[in-house]
Each structure stands twice: as C-alpha cells, then as structure tokens.
C-alpha cells in the first residue's frame, strides 16, 4: 500500500530545512497554500497588531517599506496571525484587514492561523518572527527582523535589517551570511 | 566692594537649611508607578561611605499576574535593563539577577519574575568623595511587563544618599536586600558537576557530597538563549548517587556548544543553597534539536509538516479517496449486513425501473445529506472551539449506548424476533409502503448512522484534507464520501443487467437474514465493550440489562400484535419503562474522570506501550530512539483489528524490540484535546493514525490498514 511520506518534523524550522506546507484562509476567505508560490521567494511575517514590537515596526513605517520594496521585486510577503481564537488579542478577518489597510501595509495576503497549526509547525515563537523561503521551498533565513531588540520605533530605522540582507543576498545568488538569529518580540498567543 | 545684602544672605541661608532638611537620609524620588509596575531605587544602607561598596536595588513590584524577564527571557520577551547616570566618584557593577522562575505561556516558556523582585547592583563609592556631601544616583530602567499582552515600560529613577563616615542599615530596605543577596544563586560547594552532550540532548550530571539531602525537582536555566530549549522538558534520572538532568538542545542552536552555563534550581535546595550557578565545559558534541522541543502545554509541536492534509493532497485526490473510502465502507462490519439486505431486497421487488430508480435516488440522497450534515456539525463544533475529530460522536458514551440499542433492535429484526410491520400501527406500515421513496431516504440516513462507528481506508486522508479546507471544499469531499457509499446500491437500481444476476428469493433468504443478524450482534458486543472502556463495568451492566428489557418488550409486542393476550403487551410496556429508567444514567450523567486505558492498561497486550503525551514523545525522540505512535480508540474497528492482528503479532513485536523502538499509544476513546491537536498537526482528524519517528530521518505516516509485511518494510528502514 502506498505510504505517505511526510516532510521533516518541524518544531522550530531552522535555516536549511524545508518549509512546511500549509493551507490557511486569508482575511478575504480564500485558502492560501504555500505551494501556490513555489518558484518565488516567500517571506513569512508572524504578526499581532497588539504587540508593541510589531507596532514598533509599523508605526515607524519600517515593515510597510520592506513589504513594498520586495513586493515590487516579485517576493511574496505573507503576514500570518496565529493568535488563538479564545485570546483577548484575537482579530477577526475584518479587523485584521482593516488594520492592514490602516497601516498602509502591503502584504500579498494576510493569513489567519487561528488554530495555530502553522505557527506550531514552524516553531514560531514571537511577533514578529520572520522566515524567508527560497523558490525551491527551503528556508534561507529564520529569526528576528533586525538587530535592535527593543520596542522603540526609532530603533527600527537605525538597526541592521536581517530580512533585507537575506533577501538581497539570496536574490543575487549569494549564500545568506546570517541565516539564523534569535527572534525577539511578544510571545505568540497560542 | 559691595557689601552683601543681609536680607539676601539670610534668605540664602534659609534656603540651604531647607534644602538640607528636605534631603533626609536615603531620599529617593519615590516609587514611579507605571500602568502595571511600581519601580524604585532602594539602598541597603542609609548613606555612602567612601571606599566601602554598598548594595542598591532596582525594585519592581508587578501587578498580580504580570511578569518581567530574567537576563535570558526564554522563548520571548526582553530582559530588564538599567542604565546608570552616576556622578564622578561612584561606579556601578552589573545586575545580580535573582533566581528566575519558568513561566509557561501556552506552548512557550519565559524566564522571569512575578510579584516583587529586587535587582541587586553593587555600587563602589570612591575614597575621594567628600563626607558631608550628597550624591544623586540616577538611572533609566526599562522593562517589558507581560500578562496576556506585553507592554514595554520604563522609568527615570533616582536615589539621593549623603556621604558619611559610617552608615547604618536602612531600616526599611536593609533586611530585604540582605535576604535577596543571600538568595542569589551561588556556586555549589561539595557537588561535582559535569555535562555531556550527545545527539540533541545534554546530560547534566550533579554528584552530591556524602549525606546530601534530596534536592527535589531540579530545573536548569541557561544564561544564553539558543542553547537549551526553554519549553523543553528536563527529565531527572538517578545514576547511582548522581542526579542526571536531560536538557534538550535548542532547535535554533547555531555553531558548536562548548559550555553549559546557567542557574540550577532545586525545590528542596542544594544543602544550604537554594539555587546554584553552573559553568562547565561540555564533553562530547551536540546537534541542534528540532525533535527536542516540546511543550509544557498539551500541544504537539513534534509534528511532521501537515503536507498530507494541507499541501500534498489536492482536491481531486481527496475526492477520489473519499469515493473509494465510501465504497469500501460498504464492506465494513457495521454496514455490510444492513446494506446487503437492502440490496437483496431488490430481488424480492418486481418493481418497474423508474420506481426503483426513484428509491435508489432517495437512498443516495439520504446517505449524502447525512454525511454532509455530520460534516457540517463537526465543522461548526470545531469552529466553536471544540477539539473534535471524525469519530467524535463515538467519544460520547451516550452515543455509544444509543448505537448499541439501535444495532440490537436491528439484529433482533434480522433474527426474526419481530418485524417492523408487526410493530408499527397499520397506518404507518401502509404509509411506508406507499411512500417508498421516503422510506428509502430514511434507510439512507440509517445507513450512515450505522456506518459511523467504522471508518475505512482512504477515508482518513480525505477527511483530514476536508477539515482544513474551505467549507465548500469540505462539502464536496463529504458528498463524494456519500456518493461512494451509495454507489453499489444505486448501480444495482440503474443497471437491470446486474440485478438479474442476483439470486432469486427463496427459503434460503430467511436463513441468510438470520445469519446476518450475528455480525450485528457482534457489533453490539463490541459497542458494549467500548462503553465499558469509556465508563466502567457498572455502565456495561446497565446497558446489557437495557438490551434485555428492550428485547423482551419487542418480543412481547409481537405476540400482542399477532393476536396474543393483552397481558403480554402490558409486560412489554413495563419492560420498556424499566429499560428507560435503567438507561437514563447512561445518557444523563457525565462519566467520572475518563479512564485512559481502553480495555485496561494491565492487559498483557498493552504492556510496553507508554501513554501518549507530547512531552513523552519529545523526550523519547530526544533520546535518539525511534518512536512508534499508535493513535487508536476502542470504538475504532480498524484500529482494534490492526492492533490484534499486526501490532501484537509476535514477529512484529520482536522487530520492535530488536530495533529498540519506543512504543507510544494515544488513546482517543474519550475526548482528549491534546490528542485531537496532535492529529490535526499530522493532517488528520480521525483514527487510526500510525506514525514512526526515525532518528535522523523524516517521520513516516503509515497507511490505515496495517499488514505485517508493511511493518517489516518500515522497520527495516531504521
């Protein structure tokens, strides 16, 4: 009988590992699959509008700028909210899309992982927690968004941005020099 | 020369005196209250003495339920920082952190403090300070305080101390600071500590001195992040006198791990010391451990990527699986007897094709609609937050009891104890024979209800796909399931050629019916066993007595209906009333704490199988052994068959032992959210599911119907 081979265990997906597949509904009710974007670079941004660290990057315009800069270079940016449905910070699809619009953010899709399966599959711990996946489905960067571990919006502009660095190197064919860092932020509300 | 104005001089003197008076010893600017924290700088003594170090503390008092972080915050968070603004002549050391606590947040773990905490700092006033002056010690403190939400806060704090030749203890803070100092983690005297790494775990061995008392529960907190997984379990075992703590290596370890440095706490203390600092070199080497992380909370992080349920299965494949699954469902012992009779019923009707087609259509609609209804109910309940999977209806003892009674009644009918026609008032039988379509529709519903205890191969993957997809997709899969199940019946109705091949009715039919009653009785026995496993022997007894009464009632009524004496009818009623009374507790009361062992953990077959928890699986895989997890339930026929025929077979057991496979059983007979979550992480929501975790390789998800050859094949890959 045919056996279903499953990809590697993913407690915390590290650089070099295969990115676990997922199917999540986005804020408009469409099912979005990671496999839909095979052949492109994909950035997974774990987010939570209520987290001060996420607000740091949005109020400073840092995250939106990154999304637009790379969105125009054919990188698929997926914002994922894994807050569980019973938590006080849970956002309905409407609230989430309103917030994305109000922030002027430009992700390709905003995904609501309210059963938290994908967050757990990736071992995502904080908001923000960033993963960059290459066109072959391999994770080339996993960890913090930048190197200033604070909630101060001013730091977002002066910090060294690991995601930008990883994408710049990967898209020009170079190996990613810093492939893994410790993420910082609020814990994901599983 | 200008003579100073006496009035001005006097005013100046008054001002200076007032200032001196207002600067009482140890005057701080008062605690700063932020939204959830009260912060202040406090000192152990009332004054600075030049040349003598003095301990001051950053005091943070958190609102109940809120916490701040240790130097290593754990899975998330930020450590508290203190930036001094000191005048010349005073130097400050770094924060001496009190012993942290492990604070679980869902599946993650943070290291930090609740309540009130004193972050101690040693200040060194220089000899050059002039006695009689006063010094303002200012600092900017910043911290992250979290409960369910996180708020970064900060405060500008200051503490003014006079400089004197001698300083007594501060009356308010002297004793608490001294106590905090005594409680700081210290190196362990008399204990020998070594660390050895292998695979994805570090064995931290603590050898006590002679006569040392049991330290109780031990926990290690690493100073640096990305070394040891904060949410990982830390199992303590004994090795002779020594205590060995198994630390899971962080999945995000980058580079070699050379030293193990951190704080070890013991519930009972290490002799006089409650917590100890450790800094030892690591012998051996470790690799980052994705398999080693798991959760304090009931959530399985150790999940193969849900490709089977999410990505890997396309809609087309899921629909085909569902069709096949539905088809095979007809062969399952629950369904086979009932459907066979319906099929044979064709042979007894000499109906015209259109009527038969209508009936078949009605039957198929009944089947499909019932499947869809079940699917919708399941989806709705899950959306409402219930952790349920397929088969959820069977996790309820009330449903199991009801099904047992239903199957018993059907079996009695097959045995010839009564006919439906005899029992129902003549009006009803007339109506059903006129409304054959509706009758067929009802049969369709009945068929699905009867099929629900059984799942078939191919159904598992299809259901897993359906549950994670959009509502429309889910409905399509369930419709496919229904179509598959109704297919044999519908085909026979539509293709007269096939019907002609059916045997003609005769005396053999009656005998055949009676024979088919026996698989139904077997199903009743099995459902009774499931009820016993879910509740207890008393419930089982109740059910059996209820069945007895129901059987008697049906028999009694048949007698009355076929012209027997009245009293039989009354006896029947009494029996039924008795059945209802006895049955009531089976439906109305909640069973006591669920018995986890299906059929008794002491049963010889269950020996060698560990009970499932995510932490157990994680710890076992962390130890480098292959792990075989059997997701099963008492009410799942396929599971039981696989268990008895394959998993308990001697040769399979021998291979398990030979390959040192750790065996874990996840028993889903009663509702268990942890197991439901584990199943959905695997892309499934029904049982059976068999997973083999292989060290250094990808885990394997085995097919639902096991064979000995499959097991040998799979174990050979280890």
- The answer to whether the CB atoms of B701 and A4 lie below 8 A apart is yes
Q: Give dist(CA B225, CA B201) in Å, integer.
A: 16
Does position A14 have pLDDT exceeding 70, yes or no? yes
Which contacts of B529-532 are long-range, i.e. CB under 8 A and separated by 24 or more positions?
A: B529/B599, B529/B634, B530/B394, B530/B400, B530/B634, B530/B635, B530/B669, B531/B397, B531/B400, B531/B401, B531/B404, B531/B586
Does A61 contact chain B (CB < 8 Å)? no
- Residues 290 to 329 of B: which have CB under 8 A from any A CB? 290-294, 297, 299-308, 310-312
Per-residue pLDDT band for B10 (boundaries 50, 70, 90) equals low
DSSP label of B91: E
CATH level 2 (architecture), domain B187-292: Sandwich (2.60)
Q: Are A136 and A42 in contact (CB under 8 A)?
A: no
What fold is seen in the domain B604-716? Glutaredoxin (3.40.30)
What band does B383 get if pLDDT is binned at 50, 70 and 90? low
What are the tens digits of pLDDT across the range B126-162? 988 889 888 999 999 999 999 878 889 999 999 999 9
Q: What is the dihedral of CA B460, B465, B470, B474, to 10 degrees?
A: -30
Q: Which residue of B has its CA nearest to A31?
A: B470
Quote the strand ranges of B428-586, DSSP E: none
Query: Residue B293 pLDDT > 50, yes or no?
Result: no
Query: What is the share, in percent, of chain B residues with pLDDT greater than 70?
Result: 80
For chain B, the domains span: 24-181, 187-292, 604-716
Residues of B in contact with A4 (CB under 8 A): 308, 312, 461, 701, 703
The more confidently predicted of residues B449 and B183 is B183
d(CA B348, CA B603): 48
Q: With 0-12 CB in 10 A as exposed, 13-18 as middle and 19+ as buried, what is B5?
A: exposed
Q: Under 8 Å CB-to-CB from B518, ≥6 apart: which residues?
A: B411
Task: Tell me the pLDDT of chain B averaged across its residues.
Answer: 80
Cβ pair A87:B148 closer than 8 A: yes
Other C-beta atoms closer than 10 Å to the C-beta of A86 total 9
Query: What does the pLDDT average to over B609-634?
Result: 82
DSSP string, B335-353: THHHHHHHHHHHHH----H
Give Cβ neighbours of residue A151 (< 8 Å, ≥ 6 apart).
A52, A53, A55, A56, B78, B144, B152
Interface check for B105 against chain A (CB to CB < 8 A): the answer is yes
Among B201, B232, B305, pick the best mutation site for testing chain A contact (most A Cβ within 10 A): B305
pLDDT at B448 over 80: yes
Please name which of B509, B496, B502 lies closest in space to residue B355, comparing C-alpha atoms: B496
pLDDT at residue B596 above 50? no
- Please give, rounded to a whole number of angstroms, the shortest distance from the CA of A3 to a CA of chain B: 6
Residue percentage of chain B with pLDDT more than 90: 24
Between residues 116 and 155 of chain A, which touch chain B (CB distance below 8 Å)? 116-117, 120-121, 123, 125-126, 142-143, 149-152
Say what percent of chain A tops pLDDT 90: 64
Q: Is the pLDDT of residue A168 over 90?
A: yes
What 3-state DSSP class applies to B73?
strand
B546 touches chain A (CB under 8 A): no
**Confidence tier at B305 by pLDDT (50, 70, 90):** very low
pLDDT for position B142: 93
User: Is the CB of B470 less than 8 angstroms away from the CB of A25?
Assistant: yes
Q: What pTM, to 2 d.p., does this model score? A: 0.53
Find how far residue B111's CA is from the centre of its chain.
22
Is the CB of B702 less than 8 angstroms away from the CB of A3?
yes
Looking at beta carbons, which residues of chain A come within 8 Å of B106? 84, 187-190
Q: Is the pLDDT of residue B521 over 80?
A: yes
Tokens of B209: 């001195």
Burial class (CB in 10 A: 0-12, 13-18, 19+), B329: buried
Interface check A49 vs B, CB under 8 A: no
pLDDT category at B591 given cuts 50, 70, 90 is: low
Residue B301 has its nearest CB partner, among A52, A120, A149, at: A120
Question: Cβ contacts (< 8 Å) between B252 and chain A: which residues?
Answer: 12, 14, 142-143, 180, 182
Which chain A residues are Cβ-neighbours of B693 within 8 angstroms? Answer: 9
Q: What is the pLDDT of residue B592?
A: 53
Q: Which long-range contacts (CB under 8 A, 24 or more apart) does B573-580 make?
A: B575/B549, B575/B550, B576/B549, B576/B550, B578/B549, B579/B545, B579/B546, B579/B549, B579/B550, B579/B553
- Within 10 angstroms of residue B473's Cβ, the number of other Cβ atoms is 17
Least confident of A86-100, B21-35, B241-255, B517-531: B21-35
CB contact under 8 A, A3 and B305: no
Expressed in angstroms, the distance from the first to the final Cα of chain B is 103
Please determine, for residue B701, whether its predicted confidence score (pLDDT) is greater than 90.
Answer: no
Do B621 and B291 touch, CB atoms closer than 8 A? Answer: yes
Nearest-angstrom CA–CA distance, B380 and B403: 23
Give the position of tokens 């009779």: B341
What's A96's DSSP letter?
H
Beta strand spans in B79-217 (E): 81-85, 90-92, 101-105, 108-114, 116-125, 134-146, 150-162, 186-187, 192-198, 201-207
pLDDT band per the 50, 70, 90 thresholds, residue B589: low
Please give, rounded to a whole number of angstroms, the shortest distance from the CA of B231 to a CA of chain A.
11
**Does pLDDT of B113 surpass 70?**
yes
Give CA–CA dist A88/A50, Å, rounded.
Answer: 10
The confidence band for A20, taking pLDDT boundaries of 50, 70 and 90, is confident
Whole-number pLDDT of residue B346: 59
Which of A11, A51, A150 shows the shortest C-beta gap to B150?
A51
Predicted pLDDT of residue B296: 26
Cα B143 from Cα B77, distance rounded (Å)? 9
Q: CA B557 to CA B553: how far, in whole Å?
A: 6
**What is the per-residue pLDDT across B102-112, written as a single tens digit (0 to 9) for each?**
998 878 899 99
Please answer yes or no on whether A23 and B304 come within 8 Å at the CB atom. no
So what's the pLDDT on residue B455? 64
Contacts of B76 in chain A (CB under 8 A): 125-126, 183-188
Among B46-55, B291-300, B429-438, name the most confident range. B46-55
A186 contacts in chain B (CB < 8 Å): 76-77, 146, 149-150
pLDDT of residue B324: 86
* Whole-number pLDDT of residue B630: 92
Would you call B307 and A190 a contact, using CB atoms and an 8 Å cutoff?
no
Return phi, psi of residue B22, to 5°.
-70, -25
Q: Which of residues 211-240 of B touch A (CB under 8 A)?
A: 225-226
Element (H, E) at B221: strand B218-222
Strand partners, B679: none
> Residue B601 pLDDT > 60, yes or no?
no
Return the higher-pLDDT residue of A106 and B416.
Answer: A106
Provide mean pLDDT across the span A86-111.
Answer: 92
User: How much is the average pLDDT of B319-324?
Assistant: 86
Determine the Cα–Cα distance for residues B150 and B68; give it in Å rounded to an integer.
10
pLDDT digits (tens, 9 = 90+) for B71-86: 999 988 999 999 999 9
Q: Number of CB pairs < 8 Å for A and B? A: 181
> How many Å lie between the alpha carbon of A70 and the closest alpha carbon of chain B?
25
Q: B423 pLDDT band (50/70/90 cuts)?
A: low
Distance CA B381, CA B392 (A): 10
Pairing label, strands B81-85, B67-74: unpaired
A101 min Cα distance to partner chain B (Å) = 23
ipTM, two decimals, is: 0.82
Q: A177 and chain B: CB distance < 8 Å anywhere? A: no
Lowest mean pLDDT, pick from B197-201, B248-252, B259-263, B300-304:
B300-304
Between residues B539 and B99, which one has the greater pLDDT? B99
Beta pairing partners, B280: B260
Peptide bond into A128 cis (omega under 30): yes
Between B40-44, B174-178, B417-421, B508-512, the lowest mean confidence (pLDDT) is in B417-421
- CA B506, B508, B511, B513 dihedral sign is negative
DSSP B638-699: HHHHHIIIIITSHHHHHHHHHTT-EEEEEE-SS--HHHHHHHHHTT--SS-EEEEE-TTS--
Phi, psi of B305 (to 5 degrees): -55, 135
Q: Which residues of B touch A5 (CB under 8 A)?
A: 698, 700-701
Q: At what angle do helices B459-468 and B315-329 cross, to 10 degrees?
A: 130
CB atoms within 10 A of CB B603: 10
CB contact under 8 A, A142 and B252: yes
pLDDT one-digit tens code per residue, A178-189: 999 999 999 998
Q: Is the pLDDT of residue B573 over 60?
A: yes
Structure confidence at residue B469 (pLDDT): 66
For residue B176, name the pLDDT band (cuts at 50, 70, 90).
very high
pLDDT of B527 reads 85
CATH topology of domain A23-187: Glutaredoxin (3.40.30)
Q: Does A93 touch chain B (CB under 8 A)?
A: no
The H or E element containing residue B566 is: helix B566-588
Average pLDDT over residues B235-245: 88
- Among A14, A25, A125, the residue with its CB nearest the CB of B108 is A125
**pLDDT at residue number B380:** 77
At residue B392, the pLDDT reads 67
Q: Which of A2, A9, A31 to mutate to test the interface with B (most CBs of B within 10 A)?
A: A9
Render the burial of B207-241: b for 16+ CB within 10 Å, e for the rest.
Answer: bbeeeeeebeebbbbbbebbbbbbbbbbbbeeeee
Average confidence (pLDDT) over B44-69: 94
Question: What are all long-range contacts of B509-517, with beta carbons under 8 Å and residues at least 24 apart?
Answer: B509/B344, B509/B347, B509/B348, B510/B416, B512/B344, B513/B341, B513/B414, B513/B416, B514/B414, B514/B415, B514/B416, B516/B337, B516/B340, B516/B341, B516/B414, B517/B337, B517/B411, B517/B412, B517/B414, B517/B415
The values of phi and psi at residue B385, to 5°, are: 100, -5
**Degrees, nearest 5: CA angle A10-A14-A18:** 65
Contact criterion met (CB < 8 Å) for B290 and A10: yes
Checking DSSP bridges between strand B192-198 and strand B201-207, what pairing results, if any? antiparallel
Nearest to A85 among B150, B385, B707 (CB): B385
Contact A11 B299 (CB under 8 A): no
Which residue of chain B is at minimal alpha-carbon distance from A152?
B152
Q: Please give the biggest Cα pair distance in chain B.
A: 143
- B604: pLDDT strictly greater than 60: no
Within 8 A of A2 by CB-CB distance, chain B residues are 703
With residue B554 as reference, give the H or E element that holds it: helix B537-561
Write out pLDDT tens, residues A103-157: 999 999 999 988 788 888 888 999 999 999 999 889 999 999 999 999 999 999 8
Residue A59: what pLDDT? Answer: 94
**Binary contact (B78, A150; C-beta < 8 A):** yes
Class of domain B24-181: mainly beta
Phi-psi region of B30 (alpha: psi -120 to 50; beta: other; left: phi over 0): left
Selected residues 47-76 of chain B with any CB under 8 Å from a CB in chain A: 75-76
Phi, psi of B91 (to 5 degrees): -115, 150
């Amino acid at each position: 009988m045919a056996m279903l081979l499953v990809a590697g265990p993913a407690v915390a997906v590290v650089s070099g590992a295969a990115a676990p597949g997922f199917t999540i509904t986005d804020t408009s009710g469409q099912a979005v699959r990671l496999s839909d974007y095979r052949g492109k670079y994909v950035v997974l941004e774990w987010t939570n509008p209520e987290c001060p660290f996420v607000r740091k990057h949005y109020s400073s315009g840092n995250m939106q700028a990154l999304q637009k800069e790379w969105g125009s270079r054919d990188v698929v940016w997926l914002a994922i909210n894994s807050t569980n449905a019973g938590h006080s910070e849970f956002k309905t699809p409407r609230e989430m899309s309103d917030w994305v619009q109000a922030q002027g953010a430009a992700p390709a899709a905003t995904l609501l992982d309210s059963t938290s399966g994908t967050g757990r599959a990736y071992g995502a711990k904080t908001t923000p927690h960033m993963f960059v996946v290459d066109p072959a489905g391999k994770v080339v960067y996993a960890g913090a968004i930048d190197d200033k571990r604070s909630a101060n919006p001013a730091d977002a502009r002066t910090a060294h941005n690991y995601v930008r660095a990883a994408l710049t190197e990967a898209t020009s064919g170079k190996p990613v020099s810093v492939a893994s860092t410790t993420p910082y932020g609020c814990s994901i509300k599983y | 020369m200008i003579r100073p104005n006496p009035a001005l001089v006097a005013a100046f003197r008054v001002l200076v005196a007032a200032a001196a008076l207002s600067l009482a010893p140890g005057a701080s600017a008062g605690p700063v209250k932020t939204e959830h924290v009260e912060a202040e700088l406090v000192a152990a003594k009332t004054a600075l003495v030049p040349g003598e170090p003095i301990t001051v503390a950053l005091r943070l008092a958190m609102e109940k339920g809120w916490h701040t972080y240790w130097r290593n915050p754990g899975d998330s968070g930020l450590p508290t920082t203190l930036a001094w603004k000191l005048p010349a002549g005073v130097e400050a050391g770094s924060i001496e952190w009190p012993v942290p606590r492990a604070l679980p947040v869902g599946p993650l773990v943070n290291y930090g403090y609740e309540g009130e905490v004193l972050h101690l700092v040693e200040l060194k006033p220089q000899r050059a300070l002039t006695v009689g002056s006063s010094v303002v010690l200012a600092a900017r403190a910043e911290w992250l305080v979290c409960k369910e939400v996180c708020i970064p806060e900060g405060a500008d704090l200051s503490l003014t101390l006079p400089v004197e030749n001698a300083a007594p203890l501060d009356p308010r803070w002297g004793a608490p600071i001294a106590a905090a100092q005594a409680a700081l983690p210290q190196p362990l005297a008399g204990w020998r500590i070594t660390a050895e790494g292998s695979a994805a775990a570090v064995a931290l061995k603590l050898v006590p001195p002679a006569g040392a008392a049991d330290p109780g529960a031990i926990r290690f907190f690493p100073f640096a992040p990305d070394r040891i997984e904060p949410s990982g379990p830390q199992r303590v075992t004994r090795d002779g006198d020594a205590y060995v703590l198994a630390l899971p290596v962080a999945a995000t370890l980058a580079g070699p791990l050379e030293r193990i440095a951190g704080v070890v706490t013991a519930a009972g203390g290490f002799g006089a010391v409650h917590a100890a600092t450790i800094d030892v070199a690591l012998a051996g080497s470790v690799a980052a451990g994705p398999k080693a992380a798991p959760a304090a909370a009931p959530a399985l992080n150790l999940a193969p990527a849900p490709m089977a349920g999410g990505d890997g299965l396309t809609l087309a494949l899921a629909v085909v699986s569902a069709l096949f699954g539905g088809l095979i469902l007809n062969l399952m012992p629950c369904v086979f007897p009932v459907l066979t009779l319906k099929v044979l019923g064709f042979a007894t009707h000499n109906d015209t094709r259109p009527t038969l087609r209508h009936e078949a259509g009605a039957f198929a609609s009944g089947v499909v609609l019932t499947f869809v209804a079940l699917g919708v109910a399941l989806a709705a309940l899950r959306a409402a937050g219930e952790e349920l999977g397929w088969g959820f209806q069977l996790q309820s003892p009330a449903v199991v009891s009801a099904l047992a009674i239903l199957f018993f009644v059907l079996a009695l009918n097959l045995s010839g104890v009564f006919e439906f026609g005899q029992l129902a008032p003549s009006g009803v039988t007339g109506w059903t024979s006129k409304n054959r379509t509706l009758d067929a529709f009802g049969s369709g519903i009945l068929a699905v209800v009867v099929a629900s205890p059984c799942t078939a191969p191919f159904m598992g993957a299809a259901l897993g796909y359906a549950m994670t997809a959009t509502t429309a997709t889910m409905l399509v899969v369930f419709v496919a399931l229904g179509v598959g199940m109704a297919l044999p019946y519908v085909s026979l109705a539509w293709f007269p050629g096939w019907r002609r091949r059916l045997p003609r009715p005769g005396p053999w039919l009656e005998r055949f019916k009676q024979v088919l009653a026996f698989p139904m009785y077997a199903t009743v026995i099995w459902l009774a066993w499931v009820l016993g496993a879910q509740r207890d022997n008393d419930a089982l007894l109740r059910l059996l007595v209820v069945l007895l009464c129901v059987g008697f009632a049906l028999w009694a009524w048949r007698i009355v209906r076929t012209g027997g004496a009245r009293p039989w009818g009354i006896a029947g009623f009494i029996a039924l009333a008795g059945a209802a009374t006895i049955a009531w507790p089976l439906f109305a009361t909640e069973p006591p704490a669920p018995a986890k062992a299906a059929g008794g953990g002491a049963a010889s077959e269950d020996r060698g199988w560990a009970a499932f928890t995510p932490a157990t699986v994680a710890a076992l895989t962390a130890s480098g052994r292959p792990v075989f997890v059997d997701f099963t339930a008492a009410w799942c026929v396929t599971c039981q068959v696989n268990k008895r025929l394959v998993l308990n077979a001697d040769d399979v057991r021998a291979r398990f032992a030979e390959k040192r496979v750790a065996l874990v059983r996840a028993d889903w007979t009663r509702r268990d959210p942890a197991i439901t979550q584990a199943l959905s992480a695997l892309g499934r929501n029904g049982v059976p599911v068999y997973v083999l975790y292989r060290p250094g390789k990808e885990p394997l998800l085995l097919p639902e119907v096991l064979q000995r050859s499959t097991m040998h094949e799979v174990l050979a890959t280890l």
